[in-house]
Amino acid sequence: MQNFLQVQGLRKAFPGTGGGAELVVFDDVNFTIDRGEFVCIIGHSGCGKTTILNVLAGLEAPTDGHSFIDGREISGPSLDRGVVFQSHALMPWMTVRGNIAFAVRSKWPDWSRSKVDSHVQQFIDMVHLTGSEDKKPSQLSGGMKQRVGIARAFAIQPKMLLLDEPFGALDALTRGNIQDELVTIVRGTQQTVFMITHDVDEAILLSDKIFLMSNGPRAVLAEIVTNPLPKDRTRATMHHDPKFYELRNHLIDFLVHRSKSYASTSSVQ
Ligand SMILES: Nc1ncnc2c1ncn2[C@@H]1O[C@H](COP(=O)(O)OP(=O)(O)OP(=O)(O)O)[C@@H](O)[C@H]1O
């Protein structure tokens, strides 16, 4: 389905402190995401990526503009959207199974205990945490905690997954492994994803489209880049494709040079 997510004229301004001028973080941001598309958004710190994600999550209201998912305006948080933050927001007193089951019961309160249990198990297995069901977050590594967050987000079968630098706090090896798992899961489930990352290679591996934000304040969505690499690319092989370097250089040139020079009148390319 085309235009599954629609964002129109989004603007966010925060009031100035001590009588100062207001801070316009971004202005006139417009984009659409099709069902099943994986979009990464990249831009320098402070351009408003998290604020956009929070608006899509329904956690923050825009100053102007509207966003719609599956034809309905986003006006607050909903189990339609699964969110994973950099710091896995797990409930420390609950086990792996308990954390995921809590979300599943919130979405489907009428489900029997056995139905909840088997549904939860499916997602624990999916992120390779089989055997750790009864562990509490304090007994898990950072990578395992992040896997629980991902399993929980997928388990509610959201219309859209919103990921805010979900691997930002992980070491390179763990990060690579979880990226590979995410690729497999997303290709299998056809999940629609909006993800923030600072990692250009991660964006190239995961996304169908890459949104490039200019620097803030008054950031704009400067470019939408379609990933030309084959769908079945892997972390191990994608750098053998000459298009990989072309795309990588394009993204890095944007971040180093072009991201500074956009005025809010710039148009999307
Ligand atoms: N509640 C708030 N009140 C005032 N200013 C805010 C508030 N939340 C965010 N900001 C400002 O809005 C701007 C955008 O913040 P945001 O976290 O969305 O940026 P970001 O692109 O996600 O940055 P990073 O990559 O560092 O996470 C920043 O200048 C930030 O200081």
Share of the chain above pLDDT 90, in %: 63
Nearest residue (CA) to ligand 1, atom 6: 14
Please tell me whether the overall predicted TM-score, pTM, comes out greater than 0.95 for this model: no
> Could you write out the three-class secondary structure of 28-56?
EEEEEECCCCEEEEECCCCCCHHHHHHHH
Q: 216 alpha carbon to ligand 1 midpoint, in Å?
A: 10
What gap in Å lies between CA 202 and CA 71, rounded to an integer? 30
pLDDT tens, residue by residue, 203-228 = 999 999 999 999 989 999 999 999 99
Looking at residue 185, its pLDDT comes to 82
What is the residue-wise DSSP string for the chain? Answer: -TTSEEEEEEEEEEPPGGGPPPEEEEEEEEEEE-TT-EEEEE--TTSSHHHHHHHHHTSS--SEEEEEETTEE--S--TTEEEE-SS----TTS-HHHHHHHHHHHH-TT--HHHHHHHHHHHHHHTT-TT-TT--GGGS-HHHHHHHHHHHHHHT--SEEEEESTTTTS-HHHHHHHHHHHHHHHHHHT--EEEE-S-HHHHHHH-SEEEEEPPSSSB-EEEEEE--S-TT--TTTGGGSHHHHHHHHHHHHHHHTGGGS--TT----
Q: What are phi and psi of 62, to 5 degrees?
A: -75, 160
Q: 22 alpha carbon to ligand 1 midpoint, in Å?
A: 13
Ligand 1 atom nearest the C-alpha of 48 is 18
In this prediction, residue 65 has a pLDDT band, given cuts at 50, 70 and 90, of very high
Looking at residue 2, its pLDDT comes to 82
Ligand 1 contact, 51 CB (< 6 A): yes
The answer to whether 40 and 202 are in contact (CB under 8 A) is yes
Burial of 131 (0-12, 13-18, 19+ CB in 10 A): exposed
Ligand 1 contact, 2 CB (< 6 A): no
Ligand 1 contact, 65 CB (< 6 A): no
Ligand 1 atom nearest the C-alpha of 198 is 25
Of 12, 49, 214, which is best to mutate to test ligand 1, by the most ligand atoms within 8 angstroms of its C-beta? 49
Burial of 199 (0-12, 13-18, 19+ CB in 10 A): middle
Of 24, 40, 45, which is best to mutate to test ligand 1, by the most ligand atoms within 8 angstroms of its C-beta? 45
Looking at residue 263, its pLDDT comes to 56
In this prediction, residue 115 has a pLDDT band, given cuts at 50, 70 and 90, of very high
Looking at residue 21, its pLDDT comes to 84
Chain mean pLDDT for the chain: 90
Check pLDDT > 70 for residue 112: yes
Ligand 1 contact, 168 CB (< 6 A): no
Looking at residue 173, its pLDDT comes to 80
Residue type at 38 in one-letter notation: F
Check pLDDT > 80 for residue 94: yes
Ligand 1 contact, 214 CB (< 6 A): no
Looking at residue 132, its pLDDT comes to 95
Strands 209-213 and 38-42: parallel
The answer to whether 160 and 80 are in contact (CB under 8 A) is yes
Strands 209-213 and 221-226: antiparallel
Q: What are the tokens at 144?
A: 């395992």
Q: 197 alpha carbon to ligand 1 midpoint, in Å?
A: 15
pLDDT tens, residue by residue, 160-175 = 999 999 888 778 887 8
Helices 96-107 and 142-155, interaxial angle, to 10°? 20
Nearest residue (CA) to ligand 1, atom 24: 45
The answer to whether 216 and 25 are in contact (CB under 8 A) is yes
